[in-house]
Amino acid sequence: MAINQHFASIDVQTLRQGVTGRVLTPGDPDYEQRRRGWNLAVNQYPALILIAADAEDVVAGVNFAREYGLGVAVQSTGHGIHYAGDDSLLIVTTEIASVEVDAEARTARVGAGVIWQQVLDVTTPLGLAPLLGSSPHVGVVGYSLGGGIGWLARRYGLAADSVRRVELVTADGVLRHASSTEHSDLFWGVRGGGGNFGVVTALEFNLYPVATIYGGNLIYPAERIADALHFYRDWVQSVPDELTSSISIVRVPPLPEVPEPLRGKTVFALRAVQVGDAAQGADLIRQWLDWQTPMVNTFAEMPFANIATVSNDPVEPRPLHYSSELLDDLSDDAIDIITRFATDSASPLTINEIRHAGGAIARVAPDANAIGHRDAQFYLILVGAVPSQESRANLEAYIRRFKEALSPYLPGGVYLNFIRADEAAQRAQDAYLPESYARLLELKAKYDPANMFRFTYRLVAPPN
Ligand SMILES: Cc1cc2nc3c(=O)[nH]c(=O)nc-3n(C[C@H](O)[C@H](O)[C@H](O)COP(=O)(O)OP(=O)(O)OC[C@H]3O[C@@H](n4cnc5c(N)ncnc54)[C@H](O)[C@@H]3O)c2cc1C
């Protein structure tokens, strides 16, 4: 059966007969819905979509793609689509959804399509916590392969550092197990190298004994942001690793469901999560209450199951455009520039976030896996909605001007989970130490010489 003119020779029926899952081609009723990811800003038209039922389906898909010279794109949620998987075989992993927990060993093994909420549902009744990020609707695998900074990061590190074992299908169609003792070269590279080396079918990682946290938001009017950033810069020097925090400058939409004092306003939120001693967390937050009384204070001791209320990320799909930089410090000049751009009434950014890093992230050896820049103090994240081409061009230009102004204070490193498609093409190298980057290129040449997995961070920048 022909797919389109270009791929007319592809025998889809062979793939259909060789898998338990479903194969969709353009024109099939579900193709439109399944080709889309959570981030609606990236539109993709795969030649074929394989909704894989299990690891064997992934093996069949990879072998089929190799036979027909198709690139393989992978998607669980589509929160992190990097490149439109046009003309690819898109392997959708959502049906590979097992979650197995060993409470005694404090580990979990999950299928490729599992999102963090599915892990939380099983682990929180056991008093165990995974290292998810701000949104429980993000996929475990995509998040963990790119690093994974969440609310427990300063205490327990990045999610990638807690991965114990990876099961993945490499470009030769072999299902391999990678850990510190099996294919240790691949194990090193997938933790930070994204989907460059194969399609992960399962991931095993550590869980931590966290049943409750002390966390929440203090919300202040945007007028105090410069003072707050100075205060924040000094405050984070004194906080223990048990506390992970951020400052988010947010344009609150003028929607009726938003409480009146915040509706349509630009505000900033001091967000934090304290693990362990809640009283210590409360003491640290009291310093902010003494600094200035907030408009809203949501800090409380809460079950870890409620962790998503700290960031309150959007759940429904939307067209987002984002960018990021790592920061070594918050100099007076950098604070001035961030304040100017973030509070400019013409700014198309909906969120500017500064996350405090360090702690356990920085205590891992730089060559333990492919993740770079462990010494970065802060992650700067810039996010905006792009419902149209015009709004996208406007936001891109604004972010460019913002970064140009900030460039004297940017050390040049990036964190892959927070940069977008076109940047990942040009700047993947900036995410790694030079020696790690060289090692990743060697691994790519060994495991995926034809670059079958090319819809992830491009290790080699395409020509301009
Ligand atoms: C609302 C929101 C909140 C976020 N919060 C955080 C946060 O707090 N901390 C943080 O670090 N990041 C965060 N991110 C970034 C997020 O971690 C990345 O976008 C991540 O890539 C999403 O993974 P996914 O599997 O959900 O997305 P997908 O778009 O399905 O996958 C993203 C990429 O991951 C790779 N991938 C996914 N599954 C596989 C697989 N089985 N095998 C091989 N490669 C695979 C592929 O390259 C794929 O293109 C957030 C993103 C959003 C939109």
- To test the ligand 1 pocket, which listed residue (197, 381, 417, 459) has its Cβ within 8 A of the most ligand atoms? 417
Question: Given 1.20.140.10, 3.40.50.10210, 3.50.50.60, 3.30.465.10, which CATH number is that of 99-209?
Answer: 3.30.465.10
Q: Which of 208, 215, 222 is nearest to 106 (CA)?
A: 208
- CATH code, residues 12-92: 3.30.43.10
d(CA 138, CA 116): 6
Angle at 65 between CA 63 and CA 68, to 5 degrees: 110
157 Cα to the center of ligand 1, angstroms: 17
Please work out whether the CB of residue 324 comes within 6 Å of at least one atom of ligand 1: no
Q: Which fold has domain 212-426?
A: Vanillyl-alcohol Oxidase; Chain A, domain 3 (3.40.462)
pLDDT tens readout for residues 217-243: 999 999 999 999 999 999 999 999 999
Strands (E), 365-439: 378-385
Residue among 40, 143, 414, 448 whose CB has most ligand 1 atoms within 8 A, to mutate: 143
The confidence score (pLDDT) of residue 6 equals 56
**Which residues does residue 68 pair with via DSSP β-bridges, in sequence order?**
none
Report percent pLDDT > 70 for the chain: 97
pLDDT band at 4 (very low <50, low <70, confident <90, very high): low
In terms of pLDDT, which residue wins out, 343 or 150?
150
Q: Where in the chain is the domain with CATH 3.30.43.10?
A: 12-92
Residues of CATH 3.40.462.20 domain(s) within the chain? 212-426
Q: How far is the CA of 416 from the centre of ligand 1 (A)?
A: 10
pLDDT digits (tens, 9 = 90+) for 269-318: 999 999 999 999 999 999 999 999 999 999 999 999 999 999 999 999 99
| Coarse DSSP helix, strand, coil percentages of the chain, rounded to the nearest 5 percent | 35, 25, 40
As given in the structure block, the two tokens for residue 353 are 């976030």
pTM comes to: 0.96
Q: What is the pLDDT of residue 251?
A: 87
Beta bridge partners of 251: 266
Q: pLDDT class for 82, splitting at 50, 70, 90? A: confident
Residue 2's pLDDT band (boundaries 50, 70, 90)? very low
Closest C-alpha residue for ligand 1 atom 6: 133
Whole-number Å distance between alpha carbons of 268 and 246: 10
Q: Once rounded to an integer, what is the mean pLDDT over residues 364-377?
A: 96
- In this prediction, residue 255 carries a pLDDT of 83
Q: Once rounded to an integer, what is the mean pLDDT over residues 379-398?
A: 93
Residue 389 token pair: 């081409």
Range(s) of the chain covered by CATH 3.30.465.10:
99-209
pLDDT tens, position by position, 17-31: 999 999 999 999 999
Question: What value does the mean pLDDT of the chain take?
Answer: 94
pLDDT of residue 10: 83
**Which residue has its alpha carbon closest to ligand 1 atom 18?**
80
Closest ligand 1 atom to residue 134 Cα is 8
CB 413 within 8 A of CB 429: no
Report the alpha-carbon distance of residue 165 to residue 203 in Å, rounded.
6
Q: How far is CA 342 from its chain centroid?
A: 22
- The position carrying tokens 């392997």 is 91
Residue 378: strand pairing partners = 327, 356
- Whether the CB of 80 sits within 6 Å of ligand 1: yes
Buried residues in 81-103 as b, exposed as e (16+ CB within 10 A): bbbbbebbbbbbbbbbeebebee
